[in-house]
Structure formats: C-alpha cells, structure tokens
Structure 1
Amino acid sequence: MTGVPVRVGRMSLRAHPRAIVVVVALLAATSGLAVLEMLTGDFPLTYTQLVDTLGGAGTGGQKYVVFDLRLPRVAVAVLVGAALGISGAIFQSLSRNPLGSPDIIGFASGSATGAILVLVVFGGGITQIALGSILGGIAAAVAVYGLAHRTGVQGYRLILIGIGVTAVLGSLNTYILTRAGLRQAQAAQVWLVGSLNGRGWSEVLPVAVALVLLLPAGVVLGRKLNLLEMGDETATMLGVRVESTRLLLVVVSVALTAVATACAGPIAFVALAAPQLARRLAGSSGPALLPAAAMGAALLLGGDVLSQRAFGQNALPVGVATAALGGVYLAWLLATEWRSGRR
C-alpha cells in the first residue's frame, strides 16, 4: 500500500485511503460510545437533554452530571486510550514483535511501582502519585533500554529483558503492599487495577498536553519506523540515524505510557491489542500510528461502557474489562504466532 503523496509545508507525507477510512470509522464509533456513556447511568438523560446541556441550557443537576462526572471521564478514556495505542504501535514496530507492548516489557509496571512507593512509603497525594508514576515509568524504561543495549537494541532482547523487569517489579510491588497499612494497601490496590472512576478535568489536562506535544513528534519520526523494521543495516544505508531515532521514539512512547498510567492507572492490554487490530483493519505493513490511536480510544471507551453498563449495580473498573478481553486476545495472538512458526 504505497499511499497518496501529500505535502504539508516542507513536510511530505503519504495518505493511505484505507487507513483514512479506518480512522474515520473508529472516530465515529468512539463518538457513538461517548454519547452512550453520557446518556446512560444512574441518572439517565435523553438525547435532547444532553444536547441542551452541552449547549448550556440544561438544569443545574444535568450540568453537574454531564460536565463534572461523565464528560471528563469520556475525555480521559479517549485520550488515555489514544496515548496507549500510539505507544504500543511504536514499541511493536521497534521490536518487530507483536508482544512489544509497554505493559508487557515493564514500563507500565515501573509506573505502578513509582506510584505505589509514593502512596505507601511517602503518603503522597494525587499530584505526587502521578509524578511518581511518571518517574517510575521513565526509570523502568532506562533500565530495560540499558540492559537490552548491546551494539544496538535487538527486538527479542528488548522483550525478554522487559518481561524479566516486569516480573521483578511485580514482586517488588507485592512486597511493598505487604508492608503497607490496610488503608494504604486498599488505595494502592484500587489504583493498580486501572480505573476511570472519579476522573476529572485535572486528569484530562496532562494527557491532552502530552498528546498535543508528542503525537506530531511520533508521526514525524514514525515515517522512519518502516525503515527501522527492515533492520538496522538497511535503515542506515537509507540514511536513518538508527540509534538516535530509536532513542527518540522510545522517549515519545515512554512519555505517553507514563502520563496515561499516571492519569488512569495501569490499564492492561490496550497498548498490546490496539496497534495489531489497527494494522489489520488498515491493511498496513507499517506502524499505522493514527489508526492505532483511534483504535486505542475506541477500545478503552468501549471497555468502560461495557464495565459500567453491563453489570448493573456491580460496575467493574475498566482495567478489569480490558484485562479480561486482552487475555483472550493474547491467547489468540500466541496461537497465531505459534501456527505461523514464529517464536
């Protein structure tokens, strides 16, 4: 799929018609899910009431439900899902492996460790927990990247070392929880599940800023991902500065994962599944960053609608729903890889 050349200023891009159709369809699906999320719940609204409220004409109660409860939750789901989709697409392309996802290779676990340390050891508040999550994700990424670097970073080394770091951090998290008080352990465990409950505009802003700053950088650098997937030697011959480009892409991906985790907790499997599903729908041989972002937003918002609306009063955190769906997807992916003869 060669695409149609498009020139924006000094930058030349290629637009793929099928990928554009997929992005538009996913955005339409996400919009439908957002409307469903805001109409339903303990305080149901009609479509007319929703439109009136968004236009400023609703009652005080309707404005509270829409603007303070539901709209920020939808915004966090969309933005966090998009960030995880892009991050997963970058790492799967860099590692040339569908298992190369931030939650598989330790970055999400590092963010969780940072948040738990701040919560349990230092007794920090929401802002400090978010900062600890970001710093923990960065520290884990530095550790994985440094250990995997041997005259260049090979995909299989990145994944194997990342899985090992994930196991170590998981054990550390469990140990910290055993040393915490009951209230601290409960709060940490709730955060570890990954949830959109209680999320407001204060969580929307940081992930929105991260996407505004990092998405253009990811798209520009993403043009070189196709060349990196051909191998370091080929990419070097085609003029790509392999190590510096790879490092910049890692920074973009880790930053997106860390901010997303800080805002919503460690949401499982969105970064793993969204890029692969987007590639298949778009028919792309490359990373398909924008379709992956749209798919991530649709998956996370869809998971939230399912977890909140399908179980009545026993609503589940969205992290439980994505983990359950992701487990099925991971089993299918491993079976597919096994049948194709790839290890």
Structure 2
Amino acid sequence: MTETSARTGTTAPRRRGTRRREVLVLVATLAALFVLVLVGLGVGDIPLSPLQVLGALVGHGDTISDFVLGQLRGPRVLAAVLVGASLGVAGAIVQSVVRNPIASPDIIGITAGASASGLVAIVLFGASGVLLFGVVLVGAVAVAVLIAVLAWRRGITGNRVVLVGVGVGAMALSVTGWLLTSGSLQQAGTALLWLSGSLNAVDRTVVGALLVGFLVLMALALVQSPRLAVLTLGDDVAASLGLRPDRAKVLLLLTAVLLTAGAVATAGPVSFVALMAAPIARRLVGGGRIALGPAAAVGAVVTLGSDLVAQFALPGVTLPVGVVTGLVGAPYLLWLLARGR
C-alpha cells in the first residue's frame, strides 16, 4: 500500500465520522429548538400546555389556543427562529470567506449599514412593514458593494474587508446618531426600540417575506457550501482546484448580506448572534467543518432563548432581544480578542 492510499484510507472513516457527528449535532440542536418553541408558544398571560400547543399546531386546537398561537405568539416565535437562523448562516459564511473568527456582519459594517438605511426610512419617511423590509435590503447591498470596492486590491482579502468594514460601520453609526438627534421625540423612541433589536411588534407580512427569503437563500448557501469549504484553504489552493476565488466570494458574501438584511428588516440589528452561532456550531461538530445547518440551528436557539429571557426574566418588563444577546455576545467578543493574536 502506498503512502497516499494509506492516508486516504485513514481520512475517509474520519470524514464519515465527522459527517455523522454533524448530523447528530443538528438533530440535538433542532430538538432543543423544538423545546424552546413549545415554551415560547405556551408561556404568557394565557398559559397553554404542551399538549394544547401541539394540538393547535396540527389543526386540533380550540378557539383560544388558535388565536394565541396564530395572532399573538406564533409570529414572534417564528420571527425569532428565522432571524437567528439567518444571522447564524450569514456569520458562518462571512467568517469562512474572510477566514477571521470576528468577521461577522456585526463587525464588518453590514449590520450597521442596514440599520442606518432602515433608520432613514423610519425617521424621514415613516416607513414600516414591507416597505421598510425593501429599503433595508437595498441599503445592506449598497453598503456591501461599498465595502467590497474599497477593500478590493487584486481580489478580496480578509484583513482589508475587516478593516474597511469597521470604518464603513463607523460612518453608518454616525448617520444613525444624526438621524436620532434630528427626528422628533416619537420618531426617536420608535427608532431606538428598533435599533436595540426587538421582536415586540413583528409584522406578520414581513415574517412571511423573511420565511420565503430564508428558504431560498439557505438553499443557495447549501449549494455553494462545497466552494466555501475550498475557499477556507486559501485563494491559491482554491484556484489550483479550478475555483475562481473572487467570483465565489462575491456570490457567497451577497448571500450573507441578503440573509443579514432580512433579519435586520424584521427585528432590527440583533447583535452578536452572527458572531457566536458559527463558532459554537463548529466546536460542537469538530473537524473544522463549516456546518451551515448547525450554525442556523444554533443561531435560532440563541435568538429564541434570548427572547424568552427578555420577556420573562424581569416581571412586568419586556426587554428587546438585542439587549440580552448583547449581554452574552460582548464578553464573547472580548474573549476572542484576548485569546487571539
């Protein structure tokens, strides 16, 4: 047996084992998410038992449970799941393309740009619902294009994207601050609630649009995942394997930008979920796999779990979900910076 065949013989079982572990992690995370969904749908001023929730979900609920789930809690829980999953996948794509563990949409300016465009629509034009959703999508893509143009030096390199993104994000935050001070008191209050990342008043139409967009973009991300795995080896290796690195990066980053924009348009900038979800999923799966499915599931668990804490941790007070994710994510970012080079 040659050295190459021996190496192939040892790595094949390892890959199968890693794939099995990825499936197990995905199943376990989805099971945890299902439990959180039951809790989110059942807890509140009108408590519902798990059997009542399950009955309503399969079409055998009574009038009260159907109303509570369909009109009150269902849209919020679905929005939390979709926002978290979108941010988890977006973070995994950006971190893998840039090959930097802190290069999430929060850090490189995408979220800040999307937030600034949404705030322009809210403060200057009173936009909401589907109109706000569309404005945030356009604004996020425009900011991403600006970052790509400024960071382009014979291709897209990780460090330049991070540094340029931080600068563009700072500019977007300046626009946000100016809009908050120039608008009326009522507009400032609405804008501040949205900027904190809130699921307190989700729009059912927007949630439906996010669901359709997430399914399409998630399918696109899974189709591109083999290219994403090759890109993690470096541009030279990717080119030697027949991949056009810059073209693949643009398509992948556009997918991440649209996922981020959809999440921001639905709930505002829910901070740090995109930063945390992918590294947690990779650690659970092991083997250095990108694991887009587990990253989506972890993001959904983090967001829905944080929203439940935001609703019920303080009696009589409902916090924005972004406050809770920020309390968890900020120490995580400091830990990453402290242990990195």
**Shared fold (TM-score greater than 0.5)?**
yes
Alignment gaps of 5+ in structure 1? 7-13
Matched, 1:23 2:26: yes
1:32-111 equivalences under 5 Å are 32-111=35-114
Q: Which residue number in structure 2 is paired with residue 275 of structure 1?
A: 278
Task: Give the counterpart of 2:232 among 205, 229, 232.
Answer: 229
Q: 1:218 to 1:4 in 2, by over 3 A?
A: farther
Matched, 1:120 2:123: yes
Separation of aligned partners in 2, 1:3 and 1:275:
25
Aligned length: 331
User: If the length of structure 2 is used for normalisation, what is the TM-score?
Assistant: 0.93
- The answer (yes or no) to whether the contact 1:88–1:253 under 8 Å persists in 2 is yes
- The answer (yes or no) to whether the contact 1:113–1:169 under 8 Å persists in 2 is yes
Separation of aligned partners in 2, 1:205 and 1:106:
26
Amino acid at match of 1:252: T
Separation of aligned partners in 2, 1:326 and 1:85:
13
User: If the length of structure 1 is used for normalisation, what is the TM-score?
Assistant: 0.92
Task: Give the counterpart of 2:305 among 302, 307, 310.
Answer: 302
RMSD after superposition = 1.8
Q: CA offsets per residue over residues 231-278 of structure 1, 9 Å max, x none? A: 111110111111111111011111111111111111100000000000
What SS does structure 2 have at the residue aligned with 1:285?
coil
Q: 1:201 to 1:145 in 2, by over 3 A?
A: same
CA positional deviation for 1:294: 0.9
Alignment gaps of 5+ in structure 2? 1-10
Separation of aligned partners in 2, 1:176 and 1:3:
57
CA positional deviation for 1:5: 8.5
Q: Which residue number in structure 2 is paired with residue 266 of structure 1?
A: 269
CA positional deviation for 1:200: 4.3
Amino acid at match of 2:128: G
- The answer (yes or no) to whether the contact 1:308–1:315 under 8 Å persists in 2 is yes
CA positional deviation for 1:179: 0.6
Q: Which residue number in structure 1 is paired with residue 143 of structure 2?
A: 140
Separation of aligned partners in 2, 1:137 and 1:168:
14
What SS does structure 1 have at the residue aligned with 2:256?
helix
Amino acid at match of 1:332: W
Q: CA offsets per residue over residues 67-114 of structure 1, 9 Å max, x none? A: 111111111111111111110000000110011100111111111111
Identity %: 41
Separation of aligned partners in 1, 2:51 and 2:117:
44
CA positional deviation for 1:288: 1.5
Q: CA offsets per residue over residues 122-177 of structure 1, 9 Å max, x none? A: 22232222221111111110111111111011101100111111111101100111
CA positional deviation for 1:281: 0.5
What SS does structure 2 have at the residue aligned with 1:224?
helix
Q: CA offsets per residue over residues 257-306 of structure 1, 9 Å max, x none? A: 11111111111000000000000000031322111111111111111111
Amino acid at match of 1:295: V
Amino acid at match of 2:240: M
Task: Give the counterpart of 1:293 among 280, 296, 304.
Answer: 296
Q: 1:15 to 1:218 in 2, by over 3 A?
A: farther
Matched, 1:158 2:169: no
Task: Point out the structure with the larger helix share.
Answer: 2
- The answer (yes or no) to whether the contact 1:2–1:16 under 8 Å persists in 2 is no
Q: Where does structure 1 differ by over 6 angstroms across 4 or more consecutive aligned residues?
A: 3-6
